[in-house]
């Protein structure tokens, strides 16, 4: 939320949720293109498509990552490199532990989260596609998520 947003957390959020992924994708993409084979799967979030108070920075960064990943897929089309993204919903991560430690409410109090293994299975599904198919975007929600 704008009133409580810690501006000191802005640069680290940009670095983790966008800049590092873009840099890594470009470096690996160049290498894979040279080898005419490979697959890049970026981790986004359903937060990119949600509009809710308090999600502007995180959701905006994930939306930017979605656009970057779509463009990278187009730029590498025909090169033998598949590009896609997984957009998970509420998932058990250390972020929830951090939020609780700070006394902040977290989604997992209201929605039983998925396990990291659930996301790994979605990634495996993407990797198992035939060489002529690209699962470019997979959204995966906890069964109790209603958004």
In a domain, 146, yes or no: no
pLDDT for res 4: 77
Compute φ and ψ for 32, nearest 5 degrees.
-65, -40
Instruction: Give the closest residue to 83 by CA, choosing from 138, 19, 120.
Output: 138
Contact criterion met (CB below 8 Å) for 78 and 36: no
Q: Across the strands, what pairs with 83?
A: 40
CATH number of the domain at 129, please. Answer: 3.40.50.720
In a domain, 145, yes or no: no
Range of the domain at 43: 8-140
In a domain, 3, yes or no: no
In a domain, 1, yes or no: no
In a domain, 2, yes or no: no
State the total domains in the chain.
Answer: 1
DSSP string, 5-45: --GGGHHHHHIIIIIHHHHHHHHHHHHHHHHT-EEEEEE--
Rounded Cα gap, residues 29 and 32, in angstroms:
5
Rounded Cα gap, residues 108 and 105, in angstroms:
9
pTM for the model: 0.87
pLDDT in tens, the chain (147 residues): 677 778 888 899 899 999 999 999 999 999 999 999 999 999 999 989 888 777 788 899 999 999 999 999 999 999 999 999 999 998 887 776 776 677 766 666 777 889 999 999 999 999 999 989 999 999 999 998 877
């Amino acid at each position: 939320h704008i009133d409580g947003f810690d501006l000191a957390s802005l640069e680290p959020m940009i670095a983790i949720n966008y800049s590092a992924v873009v840099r890594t994708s470009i470096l690996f993409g160049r290498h894979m293109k040279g080898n005419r084979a490979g697959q890049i799967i970026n981790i986004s979030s359903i937060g990119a498509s949600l509009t809710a108070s308090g999600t502007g920075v995180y959701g905006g960064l994930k939306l930017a990552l979605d656009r970057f990943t779509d463009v990278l897929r187009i730029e590498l089309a025909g090169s033998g490199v598949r590009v896609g993204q997984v957009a998970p919903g509420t998932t058990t991560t250390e972020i929830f532990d951090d939020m609780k430690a700070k006394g902040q409410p977290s989604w997992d109090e209201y929605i039983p989260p998925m396990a990291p293994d659930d996301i790994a299975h979605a990634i495996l599904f993407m990797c198992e596609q035939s060489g002529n198919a690209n699962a470019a975007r997979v959204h995966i929600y906890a069964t109790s998520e209603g958004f």
